[in-house]
C-alpha cells in the first residue's frame, strides 16, 4: 500500500491533485495534506475527499517538513508530490513496477549533474533512466526515509531532492530513476502538465541565492561519498 503526501502553501492546486489521486489505479492507503501556514482554506474539501490534514499554522517548514511524516508511517511505500504536479492515472502503478524492478526511488523529473554541478533534465524516454536525483514527485520505500534524516539538513531553503536521493545512495546504495514515459502514453506520465504550474513567482529556482544554496548541498554530499555522473 502507498501513503500519499500532498503539499499546500501558496498555490491553490489541491483539489485538482486530490482528484488526480482519486483516479490512480494503484492501491492507496492514506492521503495526507501537509499545509504550510494558512494561505488557503481547504476545509470545504474535507467533505468531498478523504484525507488527513497536517497543518503548520504559524510556521513554514518549507520543503523538508513533509518528509518527516514518513518517519511515522508503516506503509510499504510513500509518495510525496510537489504542489504543481498533476500525474496520469497509472503513474503510481508505474512507480510501483519500476521500484520493484530497480529497488530505487522514482521521480516525475530526473536530473544528472556534471562535475561543475550543471544540471541536465530528462525528457520523454522509452526506457528507465538512472539519474543523480529526481524531483517534483518522490516515490520510495517508506523505510528509506531514515537515510534522509541520518544527517541534519544542510539548509531548509531548498534541496530536499538532493538530500533524499544523495542520502539514500550514500547510506543505502539506493539509486534514483526517471522511469519510462513515452509521448504516446500519458496515462503513466509523472506530470501531465509538464511543469506548467511551477513557473510562477513561487518557484524556488527563481529566488536569489538558489544556486549558491544548492552548491552547499553538493559539497556536503560529495564529501560523504556521493558521486554524480
Residue with cell 499554522: 57
Distance CA 36, CA 172 (A): 30
Beta bridge partner(s), residue 120: 112
Query: How do the pLDDT tens digits run along the chain, 229 residues long?
Result: 999 999 999 989 999 999 999 999 999 999 999 999 999 999 999 999 999 999 988 888 888 999 999 999 999 999 999 999 999 999 999 999 999 999 999 999 999 987 555 555 677 888 999 999 999 999 999 999 999 999 998 888 888 999 999 999 999 999 999 999 988 899 999 999 776 544 444 445 445 556 687 888 888 999 999 998 7
Q: Is the dihedral of CA 229, 71, 191, 92 positive or negative?
A: positive
Distance CA 10, CA 200 (A): 11
Question: What pTM value is reported for the model?
Answer: 0.91
Pairing of β 133-141 and β 77-81: antiparallel
* Domains of the chain, start order: 2-223 (3.90.550.10)
Report the half-sphere exposure of 184 (CA within 13 A, side-chain side): 1
Report the half-sphere exposure of 154 (CA within 13 A, side-chain side): 22
Amino acid at each position: 500500500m502507498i501513503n500519499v503526501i500532498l503539499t499546500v502553501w501558496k498555490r491553490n492546486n489541491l483539489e485538482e491533485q486530490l482528484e488526480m489521486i482519486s483516479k490512480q489505479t494503484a492501491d492507496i492507503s492514506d492521503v495526507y495534506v501537509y499545509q504550510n501556514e494558512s494561505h488557503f482554506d481547504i476545509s470545504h474539501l474535507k467533505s468531498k475527499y478523504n484525507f488527513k490534514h497536517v497543518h503548520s499554522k504559524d510556521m513554514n517548514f518549507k520543503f523538508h517538513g513533509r518528509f518527516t511524516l514518513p518517519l511515522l508511517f508503516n506503509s510499504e511505500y510513500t509518495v510525496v508530490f510537489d504542489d504543481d504536479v498533476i500525474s496520469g492515472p497509472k503513474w503510481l502503478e508505474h512507480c510501483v513496477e519500476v521500484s520493484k524492478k530497480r529497488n530505487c526511488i522514482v521521480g516525475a523529473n530526473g536530473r544528472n549533474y556534471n562535475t561543475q554541478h550543471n544540471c541536465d533534465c530528462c525528457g520523454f524516454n522509452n526506457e528507465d533512466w538512472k539519474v543523480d536525483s529526481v524531483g517534483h514527485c518522490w516515490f520510495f520505500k517508506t523505510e528509506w526515509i531514515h537515510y534522509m534524516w541520518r544527517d541534519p539538513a544542510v539548509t531548509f531553503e531548498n534541496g530536499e531532492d538532493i538530500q533524499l536521493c544523495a542520502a539514500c545512495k550514500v547510506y543505502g546504495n539506493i539509486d534514483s530513476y526517471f522511469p519510462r514515459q513515452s509521448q504516446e502514453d500519458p496515462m503513466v506520465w509523472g506530470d501531465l502538465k509538464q511543469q506548467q504550474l511551477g513557473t510562477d513567482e513561487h518557484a524556488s529556482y527563481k529566488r536569489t541565492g538558489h544556486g549558491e544554496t544548492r552548491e552547499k548541498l553538493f559539497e556536503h554530499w560529495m564529501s560523504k561519498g556521493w558521486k554524480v555522473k
